A = this chain, B = another copy of it.
Amino acid sequence: MSKPKQVTIVEVAAAAGVSIATVSNVLNRGGIRSSKETIRKVELAAEQLGYRRNTMAAGLSRSKTYEIGLILPGLTNYYGQLAERLQIEAHNAGYHLSVFSSGGFDPDIERRNLEVLLQRRVDGLICHGLAMGFESTRSIVNSGTPLVLINGWNWPEDIALGAVNLGFAEACKQSTKLLVDRGCRALCYVGSKGSKVIDEQRRNGFNAGVQQYASDVKNEIVDTKDLDIEAFLKSVLQRHAMPIGIVAFDDHVALRLLSAANKLRIDIPNQLQIIGINNDYIAKNSYPGISSWDIPYNYQAQAAINKLLHKFGNRAESGEEREIEVPLTFIERESTKPLKTE
């Protein structure tokens, strides 16, 4: 039982009384047509013997694997959701997606995963951000394997030609406008430096928003790392005019802020307003509900896969060489509902 010699086309051919070439033909379709009779015989034999095609042999022989490698910083929350969608889209396009996580943003693990995937001779690669840096990436990816980046800004074209980026910057920018419109008289961005470029985009957007829509109100930027949230809230409420508007890195951070506020009996949204990003389960189910930016996973996943297909030259897919910006959509909940309505 430990390895019952998997059956090969040779045996199927013998059982069906035809040559291995014929078996290969009927089992892969597409190419040459065979007579009804042989098809039946072959399929029957394959069925009975429990034939299962050996991917390695097939891949080796035609130097094409129909496999796409995906490298993400992690697999929880946003990343997990994205991976699931990508897997579906890949399948719809006739490919398989192998998912790898490089634990946080660890360049070494990332390099290792990349290496594994390239040794597998995957047809293409989809990576989220990339901890490794340009040069390092270039040297390893110059194998000619198409690479599409998700949430990778400003990458040299010879490495990743275009990327599928979420409009975090714009979302954060609009958040500031929204908070000001809702009456906020001071703004904060609570970020998460650990997430590198992702955080940078948000920060930039926040700054741009402040400059454009709220140049007259106080604002500050802090990071959750080593942040005592309760102390921070107290301090902010004391130093600035209320209500205070906070743009949180994501719904997780938003939840922490919300909980601290509840504990301190801070009135939301009259004293404090919060906007998160991701439109998680959390945002929907906390109390009060957290206004958040929803991510169009389907669209994002489709865009990424299409870009790859385009690179493969499969069809005239819509994926071009340009960066694609995927816009988020705002879902408003009680954490920012207009003052009067509440």
Contact = CB atoms under 8 A, between A and B. Distances in A.
Interface of A: 1-4, 6, 50, 52-57, 59-60, 63, 65, 74-77, 79-81, 83-84, 87-88, 91, 96, 98-101, 103, 112, 115-116, 118-121, 142-144, 146, 252, 255-256, 258-260, 262-263, 281-282, 285-287, 313
A143 B286 contact: no
21 contacts: A3-B144, A55-B121, A56-B57, A56-B60, A56-B121, A60-B60, A75-B79, A75-B84, A76-B77, A76-B80, A77-B77, A79-B80, A80-B80, A83-B99, A83-B101, A252-B281, A252-B285, A255-B282, A259-B286, A260-B287, A282-B282
A229 to B, nearest CB: 9
Contacts of A281: 252, 255
Contacts of A260: 287
A219 to B, nearest CB: 25
Contacts of A101: 83-84, 87, 99
Contacts of A115: 52
Most buried by B among A53, A75, A115, A263: A75
Given A52-B118, A83-B101, A260-B287, 15 more contacts: A3-B144, A4-B143, A6-B121, A52-B115, A55-B121, A74-B84, A75-B84, A76-B80, A77-B80, A83-B99, A88-B103, A96-B116, A255-B286, A259-B287, A263-B287
